Amino acid sequence: MEPRSTLKVFSGNANKPLAQKIADELKMPLGKISAGKFSDGECSILLDESVRGQDVFLIQPTGTKPNEDIIELLLLVDAFRRGSAKAVYVVAPYYAYCRQDRLVGRSPISAKTIANLIQKAGADYFIAADLHSESIVGFFDIPVDNLSALPIFSDYFKEKKLNNIVVVSPDVGGVKRARRFASRLDAPIAIIDKQRPRPNESEVVNVVGDVSGKTCIMVDDIVDTGGSLCNAAKLLKAKGAKAVYAACTHAVLSGDALKKIAESEIEELAVSDSIPLRNGSSPKIKQLSLAPVLAQAIKTIYDGQSISEVLQK
C-alpha cells in the first residue's frame, strides 16, 4: 500500500496574515520557503523544506499586487512540481484578472489566460472564492472549488437583527448572487441598473424593486474604486431607503476608495480577508475572515471527503 502523503501548507507573499490564520485553524505550521526579490525586481523563490510525495496547498490570492502575486504563484507551483510534490493545490480566494472574462471588442479573455498559466505551471487543483463569474470555473481543465463568503456575511447581518431588509444587486450581473444571499436572509431583492461608460467608472441609472423605507444590503463580489457601491447607495437613499449596508467578498479598495466609502451614504461595508486591507481601514469597514471556511475546505479535500457542505452558498 502507498504510504499516506502529508498535508503541507505554504504561503507566498500575497496574503500572509490569511495564510497564517488558515495554518492556525489547521493547527499546523506554514511550510518554509524563501520568496524574495532579485535587485531588478524579479521574484526569487526557494523551497526551504522537501515536498517530495506531499500534498501541497499554496495560499496565494492574487489581489495585493496582482502582477507580482501571479508570477510568484506560478514560480512556486513550478518549484513544488520540480520538488516532486504529489499534488499541488492552489488556494487563491481572490482571482485577479477575473473581470475580463469574455470577449468585448478586441479584448483579451484575461481570466482564461491566467487559468492557462496556472495549469501550465503544474497546478492540480484550484480553490477560489466568489469568482466574478461561474464561467471562470470552466476556463480550467483541473478541478475547481468556488467557495463563498456569503454564509459568513449572512451570519454577520443576521446578528445585527436589522428589520425590513431588501438585498440589492448593484448590477444585473450580480442578480444570482443577490438571490442566494437574500434567501439566506429571507428577504426580497432589488436590482440597480448600472452602466460602465469606461473601465473603473460607473453610472447608476435606476432601481428595479421597492426600497422605500427599507434597510438595503448591497452584495457584490468585488469592491474596487468603490464607485459602484457609493453611487448605488446615493440612489437608494434618494429612492427612500432607510439605511444602506454592503457586503463584498474581495476588498480591492484601490485609489481613494476608502475615503469615498467613508464619505458615502453606506453605514457599513463588510468584506472578507481574501485581500489584506493594504490602504488601512476605516470605521465603516468590517473585515470577516475566510480562514475557517478555507481551512475546512483544505481538510475536506485532503481527507478525500465530499466538499458540497463547505461549498454551500
- Cβ proximity to ligand R5P: between 158 and 176 the closer is 176
From the list 72-80, 134-142, 160-168, 171-179, the region that binds ligand R5P by CB under 6 A is 171-179
Residue 55 makes contact with ligand R5P by CB under 6 A: no
Residue 63 makes contact with ligand R5P by CB under 6 A: no
- Cβ proximity to ligand R5P: between 175 and 238 the closer is 175
Q: How far apart are CA 217 and CA 246, in angstroms?
A: 5
- Alpha-carbon distances of 263 from 76, 226, 259, 282, rounded to whole Å: 41, 11, 6, 11
Task: Specify whether the CB–CB gap between 290 and 147 falls below 8 A.
Answer: yes
Q: How far apart are CA 101 and CA 110, in angstroms?
A: 6
Residue choice 11, 169, 228, 249 for contact with ligand R5P (CB under 6 A): 228
Q: Where are the beta strands (DSSP E) in 92-209?
A: 125-129, 144-147, 165-169, 189-195, 203-208
Number of chain positions touching ligand R5P (CB under 6 A): 15
Residue 270 makes contact with ligand R5P by CB under 6 A: no
The CA R_g of the chain, rounded to the nearest whole Å, is 20
Supply the minimum distance, in Å, between the C-beta of residue 49 and ligand R5P.
38
- For residue 10, the surrounding DSSP H or E stretch is strand 7-11
Closest to 153 measured CA to CA, from 268, 35, 12, 303: 268
Q: Pull the grid cell for residue 145.
A: 472549488
Active site residue 239: no
Residue choice 33, 96, 168, 222 for contact with ligand R5P (CB under 6 A): 222
Closest to 296 measured CA to CA, from 99, 145, 122: 145
Residue choice 31, 66, 93, 226 for contact with ligand R5P (CB under 6 A): 226
Supply the minimum distance, in Å, between the C-beta of residue 126 and ligand R5P.
20
Q: 162 by DSSP, 3-state: which? A: coil
Query: Which residue of the set 21, 194, 237, 284 is catalytic?
Result: 194
- Cβ proximity to ligand R5P: between 146 and 296 the closer is 146
Q: How far apart are CA 79 and CA 10, in angstroms?
A: 12
Supply the minimum distance, in Å, between the C-beta of residue 256 and ligand R5P.
11
From the list 26-34, 73-81, 220-228, 235-243, the region that binds ligand R5P by CB under 6 A is 220-228
Residues belonging to the active site: 194
Q: For binding to ligand R5P (CB under 6 A), which residues are involved? A: 170-171, 173-174, 200, 202, 220-228
